[in-house]
Amino acid sequence: MRILATFEKQERLRHIGHLDIMRAMQRALRRSGLPVSYSKGFNPHILLTFASALSVGAASTCEIMEVSLDEPVEPGVFMARMNEALPPEMQLTGARAVDERRPAAMALVRAARYDIRLPEDATRTLGAAIPGFLAQAEIITDRKTKSGVKPCDIRPLIHALEMRENHLLAELALTETLSCKPAMLLTALCAFTGIPEPRAMVTRTRLLGETEAGAIVPLEEL
Amino acid sequence: MQLFDEKIEAMLEQVQKAPRYTGGEMNAVRKDWDSVALHYGFCFPDTYEVGMSHLGMKILYGLVNREPDQLCERFFMPWTDMKALMEQENVPLFSTESRRPMADFDLLGFTLQYEMSYTNILAMLKLGRVPLHREERRRDDPVVVAGGPCAFNPEPLADFIDAFMIGDGEEVTLQLTAAVRDWKPTGAPREVLLRTLAAIPGVYVPAFYDVAYNADGTVASVTPNDPAAPAAVKKCVVTDLDSAYYPREFPVPYTEVVFDRIMLEIMRGCTRGCRFCQAGMLYRPVRERSLETLRSLARDLEKATGYEEISLSSLSSGDYSCLPELIRALMKDLEKERVSISLPSLRIDSVLKESLEETQKVRKTSLTFAPEAGTQRLRDVINKGVTEADLMEKVTDAFSSGWSAVKLYFMIGLPTETDEDLDGIADLAAKVVRCYFSVPKEKRAKGLRVTVSTSSFVPKPVTPFQWEPQDTLEELKRKQAYLKEKLRAVKGVNFNYHTPELSFLEACFSRGDRRLGRVLEAAVNRGCILDGWSDLFSFENWMAAFADAGLDPAWYAYRRRGEDEVMPWEHIDSGITRRFLRHELEKAQRAETTRDCRHGCNGCGLNQWKGVCAYANPGHV
């Protein structure tokens, strides 16, 4: 059977990279004693996938993983056993069984919501600039890729943007081919406003997927 | 706390490898600070990756945290970028778990694994705002203790450490924490505590000893100046490893560390008696954990950590009396969990090897052999019981079972070494290469790689070579160049060697006296920290530090000690008699070997712990 689970990565762990979090999750699966499936072949590994890699430096309340089990396990039991095996800063917040024929969550991600906490002094200027920022026909900013830095238009990738108190709330495209990282957004917004980039604490708060009817919904509900 | 935490968070965004400082690992302790009576800071004087690979830390961390009224948190040496930020932002060194400043702890325990980490201890105390000199510490300052192999010559650190624990730490650590816990609420002065500590067997309190020097600079005497202090401090020995504490869980780091696996200490001590090897002397007598204890520990540790690999740890795991049975049992117990067992590469019987190849993914990366010296004569001098025939047999075996990379470890600068012995190293390397080509092509793996790696000999306390001079830097460099030239002629061999300047400094501190504390202090002030990391090592700064202190490093490293010279560590009793060490030195000079203790007691002195050494002959004194 396949289980889809949501988990959080609290601020304390935000500097732990994606691969290290993956390994910690694999070890937790082993500690839990749950009947996890292994790949076949010479070097078997646990069949575990994450819906999306989270940038180093970001926390999250909504990471999604999928894992295959050799025997059926009640999702509630799965969650309880995993939470005993996981540190308090990396607990599961939900689990459910999903159809094994369904495409991997990784393939269904379309966008993500972020909460970008900013210092008080930067919020007023940046908040006031949002309407003008979004009214631009295009927003060119640098995208760092493996082959170097390339200019890229992120305007179509910004689905929503607002300032609430000192939190910049953004919904940004996140697909395998096109995505906008919160850091790129912040760089572009600060450049537009003409202020130096402030320290920011990024938390991913939702991963979003698309239904067959084209509606955007939380990924774990798909 | 809030502001302090914010500052730390801001710093973590700017440093390389922030996970060194974040904590929050699985199995890290999360005790309420105010719920315990004693706060112990385990301090590892090197980076997180090195410290988290250290078995002693895992043992003591679990041991103290098992006590309901005590907690143990970890401190590591921050990397230079973090250290600079902490100084700039005025943030004191903080614990990995609760981010408490070092000075908030009641007791700080450093582990002494390597002489070149001594300056990191000073740097950590400074960063932690703990008064550097023990004499400056007031009642509310932490009590600073240290233990580990280098504590057998504690003198270079005697100005900075309140008390040293000599020998096995499993029992004495809790006596120490209890003493501090009980003293804390009494309001009695620090000296009262120090007297209590000095009365614990195995604890050395340097304040209670006076050192007198001869006109030539050698030590004249080390004498107690307080009735609480014994004339000699005898090391602690855990007599039964099965009943000694061993952790059944330990923190599992997120990032990869040097040894990222379960470490199962199967025995302590070694019977082989290599004359250069300090660990082989210090960890005597040999004690084994029973098969049943090890099986139970392995099962629990696998469950608690989720690791997929177990390594059997000891000085000479191949000598464990029922190694094949142990490996078969562990393989059977942990087969379902897909745990692989990393083995001592040598001394595996062939039946076992077959069953291993069937069931395990044996990673055929590189096999390591340590002949240590290039000729039989010199191997006899150092009592390294390996012959060329042994080595060739093992190497042939390795090449025919699919290995193609072999590492050969040697030491240069060993007592009595001549250029002939260096030629011997090149010869051995060439024979290993020929050995590879003698295996039929279809049987051997492609891509032969032979690495010859040399370190420079450092005479260590409590070894037969403790009286011997180290080769001069010039001589070591000449020998390296000579060997490099010789090995150039051998196709397929890579040669690498340790920085001889580091070995020179190790030689100064390993047998150094109390006056060297001044050098350590000057060195830290000149920025000598994390010297084990070659990119940060500055020999010039160290030489300047010796000059600052008015001491000559050559006198410490190059001087042959007189037969009756009082050693700076004379008051630390390792249990090994000076007579035995001297006798071994004389045999070395005649290139005479001494048998493995398993074949008969050699009378080193450890039989004073009645019944602990399985090989002791009570008749020997």
Q: Is the pLDDT reported for residue B357 higher than 60?
A: no
Confidence band of B393 (pLDDT split at 50, 70, 90): confident
- The boundaries of the domain holding residue B21 are 2-219
Same domain, A186 and A115: yes
Q: Is the pLDDT reported for residue B367 higher than 50?
A: yes
Say which residue, B458 or B609, is predicted with more confidence: B458
Same domain, A82 and A68: yes
pLDDT value for B365? 61
Any idea which residue has 């990471």 for tokens? A63
Rounded distance, CA A119 to CA B480, Å? 58
> Looking at CA atoms only, how far is residue A23 from chain B in angstroms?
8
Please count the residue pairs, one from chain A and one from chain B, whose beta carbons lie less than 8 angstroms apart: 62
The strand pairing partners of B560, in sequence order, are: none
ipTM beyond cut 0.85: yes
Q: Which residues of B touch A (CB under 8 A)?
A: 9-10, 12-13, 18-19, 22-26, 28, 30, 252, 254-256, 303-308, 337-338, 361
Same domain, A54 and A96: yes
Q: Return the residue in A30, A84, A202, A203 with the most chain B beta carbons within 10 A, the one to mutate for interface testing.
A: A30
| A140-175 residue pLDDT tens | 999 888 888 889 999 999 999 999 999 999 999 999
- % of chain B beyond a pLDDT of 90: 80
- The boundaries of the domain holding residue A141 are 108-221
B358 part of a folded domain: no
Domain count, chain A: 2
pLDDT value for B355? 52
Among the ranges given (A145-149, B42-46, B84-88, B260-264), the one the predictor scored with the smallest mean pLDDT: A145-149
Of B10, B255, B306, the CB nearest to A27: B306
Say which residue, B621 or B297, is predicted with more confidence: B297
Q: How far is CA B351 from CA B266, B313, B386, in A?
A: 21, 22, 23
Rounded distance, CA B206 to CA A197, Å? 54
Of B10, B25, B255, the CB nearest to A87: B25
Which among A177, A176, A170 has a CA at the least distance from the CA of A204? A170
User: Of A71, A102, A133, which marks where a domain is finished?
Assistant: A102
Average pLDDT, chain A: 94
pLDDT value for B331? 87
Same domain, A25 and A125: no
Domain count, chain B: 2
Same domain, A90 and A24: yes
Counting other chains too, the contacts that B3-9 makes at CB distance below 8 Å and 24 or more residues apart are: B4/B91, B4/B94, B4/B99, B4/B101, B5/B99, B7/B89, B7/B91, B8/B91, B8/B94, B8/B99, B9/A11, B9/A201
Confidence band of B619 (pLDDT split at 50, 70, 90): low
8-state DSSP, A178? -
Rounded distance, CA B152 to CA B170, Å? 17
pLDDT value for B3? 54
User: Of B512, B530, B564, which marks where a domain is finished?
Assistant: B512
- % of chain B beyond a pLDDT of 70: 95
User: Of A102, A136, A171, which marks where a domain is finished?
Assistant: A102
What is the rounded average pLDDT of the residues A27-52?
A: 93
Cα dihedral A65, A68, A74, A80 in deg (nearest 10): -50
CATH number (domain holding residue B188) = 3.40.50.280
Among the ranges given (A60-64, A191-195, B313-317), the one the predictor scored with the smallest mean pLDDT: B313-317
User: Of A102, A128, A148, which marks where a domain is finished?
Assistant: A102
CATH number (domain holding residue A39) = 3.30.70.580
> Looking at CA atoms only, how far is residue A108 from chain B in angstroms?
28
> Looking at CA atoms only, how far is residue B253 from chain A in angstroms?
8
Confidence band of B353 (pLDDT split at 50, 70, 90): low
pLDDT value for A131? 97
| B524-582 residue pLDDT tens | 999 999 998 878 899 999 999 999 999 999 999 999 999 999 999 999 999 999 999 99
CATH number (domain holding residue B505) = 3.30.750.200
| B-contacting residues in A 43-72 (Cβ below 8 Å) | 43-44, 57
Any idea which residue has 């099962």 for tokens? B299
pLDDT value for A145? 81
